[in-house]
Structure 1
Amino acid sequence: MVRMLRPFTRAVTYTRWLHLFVAAVLPAVLMYVDDIWMYLSPVLLALAGPVPAMRVVEGFQARLLLTGQRQESDGQEIVVAPSATWADRARTVVWLQARLLLGCLVAVLTIQLPITTDNLVAGARGVPLGDGALVPVPGQHWWYALLAPLPLVLLAAVVVGSGVLITRLAPKLLGPSPAERLAALEERTEQLLERTRIARELHDSIGHALTVAVVQAGAARAAGDPDFTDRALSAIEDTGRAALEDLERVLGVLREARRPVSARPTLADAGRLLESARSSGAKLDTEVTGPLGAVPGPVSREGYRILQEALTNVLRHAGAVPVRVRIRVADGSLGLEIRNPLRAAAPGPGRGSGLRGIRERAALLGGQARTGPDAGDWQVHVVLPVS
């Protein structure tokens, strides 16, 4: 019994009832003009259905009254968008006709079933029956009182059942078309890729800044030289400021800020990155070949992050060692090679995620990345197409 009464404790049951009842307003208004106009209601709706904005109106009503959803959500089954194709327009016409038919039926039963109950009670009491009943109650019998609740029970079943039926019908007729589903899937994929890219950005930038800070602070403490300490603090300051700029830019993307944020660094800014690694104790042997300015923006930005992650790994796992850095732009490709003497390093937290990020960045740009031991060195070798 409790399960049967549960739908009547939910507000959506009554909003669905209202949604169907409103559909009968058009023929009811036309009936007061002329009875023949009432029968033209399906024709008028068939003419209005192909209007693109009609899908917006019906979708909003259905979403609000049938599901209780006011805003967009993932996996939305009822769309609020103009009809883009004739298939969408045809589905809107079918929806209008189905809602009109079911709405008129529910409206008639909503009025007639309580009248029937009233007439049954009147017949049981032996008083004159009221007017307006489509179902006559013949004679006057006391046992009509036993039948009086049945029309109300039927009305309750009509209210719940019709609401469930129209709610199940709505996604099929007002739901997204295959093209809209594909567009939504592509948008969702872009959002996930953007989140992954932001996670990599934070990992590379903040990880590099923290590594430089830790290495510089440790070296300054061990050196005990005021001049060296000043240089170390300057390096920490510069690296921290760059990391804050990256963090501000990423947070601006996450907040969808309208104000401009600082641009992502490219290989043209590699000098600052190399100087930061050099001041942290790494002995850099750097060689740049080819015009870095000719490298497209996306490739140059990802190349900067790959170089940053490679140098971070050197400082974190090898310390102050000789590092060979080669940046080469030639033959339609960008080559990055970072080599340092191989040392045994104890695995630390998150070990390997940076190298995986390097490989992912290269793969997304159609390039290749090799990381690992090579002839007694640890190497990061990346080739990215620039054409």
Structure 2
Amino acid sequence: MIALLRPVIRAVTYTRWLHLVTAAVVATVFAFVTPGLGNVNSPAGAWLLVVPLPFLALAALVPGVRLSEGMQAQLLLFPAGRTGRKGRPEPRITPARSASRADRRRTAAWLIVRYEAGVATAFLSVHAPTLTVRLISSAAGDGAVRLPLRTPGPGHWSYAVLGLLVPVLFLAFVVLAGELQARAARALLGPSAAERLAALEERTERLLEHNRLARELHDSVGHALTVAVVQAGAARAAGSPAFTEQALTAIEETGRHALEDLERVLAVLREDAPGPAAARPALTDVERLLTAARGSGAEVTADVTGALETVPGPVSREGYRIAQEALTNVVRHAGPVRVSLRIAVRADVLELDIRNPLPGAGAGAGGSAVSGGGSGLRGIRERAALLGGRAETGVHEGTWRVRAVLPLGV
């Protein structure tokens, strides 16, 4: 019983009824301006269901009509905060202007469906109460209505039963018509399959961008913290004012660059839009990596072949991050060792090769990296794969090597 009464006490039932009957305004206008259409009880009144349809189809050509209809539907058919089954928020529509022929066709179909359902609902809204009163009056014996049944005539109790049944049937019609209207709105005013696919692709791209930013933040901040920890430890062990001054300078410089990267990434995340690529470090800034690594005690030798300025932006920026992660691993796991960094810009590829001696069998860089489980090494391989290249990490000829080959035709 409660389940049967629930639609009657819900506010959405009556907002949907209001949405339905407002569509009859168009019928009212045509009934006034067209002779004969105003008498809905005559055969000529049936033309009121047909005559306005071409005009509704023409109205659908106006882009703003779809936006207006969507706003009305969202307000009256899908009240805010309404939940559907299992307590989940009921799916709604997103009002938008017509942007294609398909949108205009769907808008025209929506206007026609809304008009026909609205005229039927308005007709019943006017005649159902009148019929109820007449049936109850007939039950009292005034003969207002005669049933095509074998009854004793006016004053029979069946008139009262039918009089009470009419409002129940009318409410059931309003609930059903409102639900069908809401489904039609989702199908005709909501995003098309192509628009939903485009929105899904946009969301996927946004998630991929956020993952890339998270990886970049990990590399930048991780590098800065590693350099700061190693520099501070080395300065304490050295006990030399000159070395301490050098270490503090390196920590300050590395921290400043890390803060710049952090502010840029956070700004992009707040705005939920791609940030300026020019603000990201590239291989032309590789000297800052060498300075930080040397300040940590590593003896870094660099061999650069070719013009770094000619490397495409995406390749140059990812190459910088690969070199940064490789040098960070050296400082973190191998300590103050000799490191060779080779960057070769060829006709079609960029090659990065970073090597350092193993600190001991099964320990340090070699022991941790051979397993391939580190997030930094995985990030190196992912960066190379996204550009269509490849990266290799592991023991090579008695050294730990990170080698990446990135195509320049990106």
The two structures have a TM-score, normalised by structure 2, of 0.83
Q: Name the counterpart of 1:381.
A: 403
1:107: how far off? 1.6
Distance (whole Å) between structure 2 residues aligned to residue 7 and residue 208 of structure 1: 61
Distance (whole Å) between structure 2 residues aligned to residue 347 and residue 17 of structure 1: 68
Query: Does the 8 Å CA contact 1:59/1:80 hold for their aligned counterparts?
Result: yes
1:9: how far off? 4.2
Query: Does the 8 Å CA contact 1:77/1:176 hold for their aligned counterparts?
Result: no
1:286-301 to structure 2, matched below 5 A, reads 286-301=302-317
Between 13-22 and 265-274, the greater mean CA deviation after superposition = 13-22
Q: 1:147 aligns with which of 155, 162, 171?
A: 162
Q: 2:332 aligns with which of 316, 323, 341?
A: 316
| Alignment-mate amino acid for residue 404 of structure 2 | V
Distance (whole Å) between structure 1 residues aligned to residue 100 and residue 11 of structure 2: 35
Per-residue CA deviation, residues 300-342 of structure 1 (Å, 9 max, x unaligned), is: 1111111111111111222222111011111222111111122
1:168-187 to structure 2, matched below 5 A, reads 168-187=183-202
**Mapped pair 1:355 → 2:380:** no
**Mapped pair 1:46 → 2:57:** yes
**Mapped pair 1:190 → 2:205:** yes
Distance (whole Å) between structure 1 residues aligned to residue 266 and residue 380 of structure 2: 22
Query: Does the 8 Å CA contact 1:52/1:82 hold for their aligned counterparts?
Result: yes
1:268-347 to structure 2, matched below 5 A, reads 268-343=284-359, 344-345=363-364
Per-residue CA deviation, residues 275-303 of structure 1 (Å, 9 max, x unaligned), is: 01110111111111110111111111111
The two structures have a TM-score, normalised by structure 1, of 0.88
Between 146-155 and 370-379, the greater mean CA deviation after superposition = 146-155
1:126: how far off? 4.5
Partner SS, residue 139 of structure 1: coil
Partner SS, residue 383 of structure 1: strand
| Alignment-mate amino acid for residue 68 of structure 2 | V
Q: 2:227 aligns with which of 212, 228, 235?
A: 212
Q: Name the counterpart of 2:256.
A: 241
Q: Name the counterpart of 2:136.
A: 121
Q: Name the counterpart of 1:112.
A: 127
**Mapped pair 1:157 → 2:168:** no
Per-residue CA deviation, residues 169-196 of structure 1 (Å, 9 max, x unaligned), is: 2232223334323322321222112111
Query: Does the 8 Å CA contact 1:285/1:324 hold for their aligned counterparts?
Result: yes
Q: Name the counterpart of 1:26.
A: 26
Per-residue CA deviation, residues 22-78 of structure 1 (Å, 9 max, x unaligned), is: 1111102321333456452222112222333322222232233222369xxxx9774
Q: Where do 5+ consecutive residues of structure 1 fail to align?
A: none
1:143: how far off? 4.5
Distance (whole Å) between structure 2 residues aligned to residue 356 and residue 119 of structure 1: 81
Superposition RMSD in Å? 2.9
Q: Which runs of 4+ in 1 moved over 6 A?
A: none
Cα 1:181–1:355 change in 2 (3 A) is same
| Alignment-mate amino acid for residue 388 of structure 2 | G
Identity in percent: 58
Cα 1:315–1:68 change in 2 (3 A) is farther
Q: Where do 5+ consecutive residues of structure 2 fail to align?
A: 38-47, 82-89
Q: Name the counterpart of 1:63.
A: 74
Per-residue CA deviation, residues 327-386 of structure 1 (Å, 9 max, x unaligned), is: 1111222111111122413759x9511111111111111111111221222211111122
Q: Name the counterpart of 1:100.
A: 115
Query: Does the 8 Å CA contact 2:78/2:92 hold for their aligned counterparts?
Result: no
Cα 1:150–1:330 change in 2 (3 A) is same
Partner SS, residue 380 of structure 1: strand
Partner SS, residue 67 of structure 1: coil
Query: Does the 8 Å CA contact 2:137/2:144 hold for their aligned counterparts?
Result: yes
